Structure 1
Amino acid sequence: MFAGVYTALVTPFNDKKEIDKECLKKIVKFQLDKGISGLVPVGTTGESPTVTHQENMDVIEMVVKEVNGRVPVIAGTGSNSTDEAIRMTKIAKDIGANASLQVSPYYNKPTQEGLYQHFMTIADAVDLPVMVYNIQGRTGVNINTDTLMRLAKHENIVAVKEASGDLGQMMEVLRRKPADFDVLSGDDNLALPLVLLGGAGVVSVVSNIIPKRMEELVLAARQGELDKARKLHYDLLPLFKSMFVETNPIPVKTAMAAMGLIKDVYRLPLCQASEENRKFIQNVLKDYGLI
């Protein structure tokens, strides 16, 4: 169902730290013009922890309207409260989102059975495809492969954004998954190995700034053009690394601001990159001809 590059879209703010609606439309158009496979608004990169629930839904609605059916929109509607995730996912379905991104519950650190019941309850409550989001570094809990395989039996749970950083775990998921269950990398630097091992693509941070190049990389990998894919991967590796010199999404928003796509504005506790890292990111962008 989901193959290619899905941009984990940033949420642009204006100088008053309000959502910049016109800027959001502009960056969505930029993504569409560059041939992106799909968009994922209000995930980690979209600063979901600091937008209100109403803002969360407003951003999703704006993206859905701007996309107008041209590519899938996977709405970030996850929560560490199952009831809240269901409420937001129902709204996302009514808005017209094509699927929902459901992060594993954070802070309350459920057991594997708790994780299973959480995702199953959401999938039962809302008839909308679910992409499970496994990112232990943010949530404090890993979705074990046995748990994920139980979840994959549900007709609405169709994919996983795998950001554990553990290639061994990813390979086990790929080995055991149903044929119609998609595995996407949650890390740009692991997109190539995951796709070559049988993954479907990537939910990408760096595609906020280089959507076309990421599409070329993933397409080459999916088509078995190994030399081309390997070259693209190593050509882009310094850029991948630069996007994580500070906590995501600070570096990518710093880069987008330097490119004139958004303003360099965040909501606390996130803040602007250090001067040293800002200069580093700008120098990397210059190396790639992006500024």
Structure 2
Amino acid sequence: MQINWEGVMPAITTKFTSDDQLDLEMFEVNVKAQMDAGVSALILGGTLGEASTLSFEEKKTLIIETVRIVEGKIPVIINIAEQTTKGAIEAAQVAKECGAKGLMMLPPMRYKANSYETVTYFRAVANSTELPIMIYNNPIDYGIEVTLDMLEELLDCDNIQAVKESTRDISNITRIKSRFGDRLKVFTGVDTLGLESVFMGADGWVAGLVCAFPAETVAIYKLAKAGRAEEAIAIYRWFLPLLELDINPQLVQNIKLAEVATKIGTENVRAPRLPLQGNERERVLKIIKEGVATRPVLPEYKSL
């Protein structure tokens, strides 16, 4: 399966039971809700997936289960966030063996690599696999910026095909498109810039609140791409208070609370994360409650 780098791709959450085991039953409920809404791929193993807390066997189980659930209808993409080049190459190999069809790659974790080291890291992994790759550029959260010059050095790797743009500088979408055209597909990775990014030419949206509100997220994207801007903006204005829950250190807890409200998830997180408490919990629940109570009636969007 070739990946068509466009559309909404959820950074899917990992579901846990109350006794801290993988909740594969609720995980399947959520995956099927995403597919029914019309997402174009699923991304496992990101921050929202609490990948840093998962064992090697749990990661393999999630890949295999997701591949089983989707039945080849949409690609499964694995996020790689490793401390070593060797570890990243091994993770890419395991992803392919388990049935994944693509990779999303962060720069090396913990060690703040310089530009030369970062490019060498990406190139080594790309040359080790046939899987198509989306580079994840998020210097705010991970401390390393993948500049346009660095991206240009990587274009000799044919399987580096897309970039997830999370610098919060929306003009970077224009810079990438102006310099590389369609050689690199561009995804926004910031929920609160989702619609704006699509209007500026982003090919897709790696989304967070889609985990709780899949139909609304896909509808915004498809309406915008179809030129129905006013309809997209109206839904997006309703959505923005919820989308802001993604730009928060407790984004996992926030989004899982929203999944509970829409009945496609549970609140369970893995320690050291803990469920929200006190005033912050009440604040987030109020936003979610208001969002659910005013949830818009969507136009038919799937055929757009």
TM-score (norm 2): 0.90
- 1:180 is aligned, of 178, 183, 192, to 183
- 2:111 is aligned, of 108, 113, 116, to 108
| SS of equivalent residue, structure 1 residue 5 | strand
For structure 1, which runs of at least 5 residues remain unmatched after alignment?
none
Aligned 8 A contact 2:83 2:108 in 1: yes
| 2:161 is aligned with 1:127 | no
Distance 2:274 2:170 in 1: 31
Partner of 2:230: 227
| SS of equivalent residue, structure 2 residue 135 | strand
Runs (4+) of structure 1 moved beyond 4 Å? Answer: none
Residue identity in the other structure for 1:127: E
Partner of 1:64: 67
The alignment yields a C-alpha RMSD, in angstroms, of 1.7
Partner of 1:191: 194
Distance 1:247 1:283 in 2: 16
Aligned 8 A contact 1:258 1:282 in 2: no
Partner of 1:237: 240
Partner of 2:167: 164
Residue identity in the other structure for 1:249: V
- 1:207 is aligned, of 205, 210, 214, to 210
- 2:277 is aligned, of 274, 285, 288, to 274
Residue identity in the other structure for 1:180: R
Distance 2:136 2:110 in 1: 15
Q: 1:20-31 maps to which residues of 2 (within 5 A)?
A: 20-31=23-34
Structure 1 pair 230–261 and aligned structure 2 pair: CA distance change class (3 A): closer
Residue identity in the other structure for 1:82: T
Tell me the alpha carbon deviations over residues 245-284 of structure 1, each in whole angstroms, 9 at most, x when there is no partner: 5422121012213433333222222211123232223222
Distance 1:258 1:218 in 2: 23
| SS of equivalent residue, structure 1 residue 228 | helix
How many residues align? The count is 291
Tell me the alpha carbon deviations over residues 126-159 of structure 1, each in whole angstroms, 9 at most, x when there is no partner: 1100111111122111111110122234210011
Identity %: 27
- 1:216 is aligned, of 204, 216, 219, to 219
Distance 1:160 1:81 in 2: 21
| SS of equivalent residue, structure 1 residue 175 | helix
| 2:83 is aligned with 1:77 | no
Quote how far apart the aligned CAs of 1:14 are.
Answer: 0.8
| SS of equivalent residue, structure 1 residue 179 | helix
| SS of equivalent residue, structure 1 residue 251 | helix
| SS of equivalent residue, structure 1 residue 76 | strand
Aligned 8 A contact 1:38 1:73 in 2: yes
Distance 2:98 2:270 in 1: 26
| SS of equivalent residue, structure 1 residue 289 | helix
For structure 2, which runs of at least 5 residues remain unmatched after alignment?
296-304
Structure 1 pair 157–70 and aligned structure 2 pair: CA distance change class (3 A): same
Distance 1:245 1:111 in 2: 27
Aligned 8 A contact 1:13 1:266 in 2: yes
TM-score (norm 1): 0.94
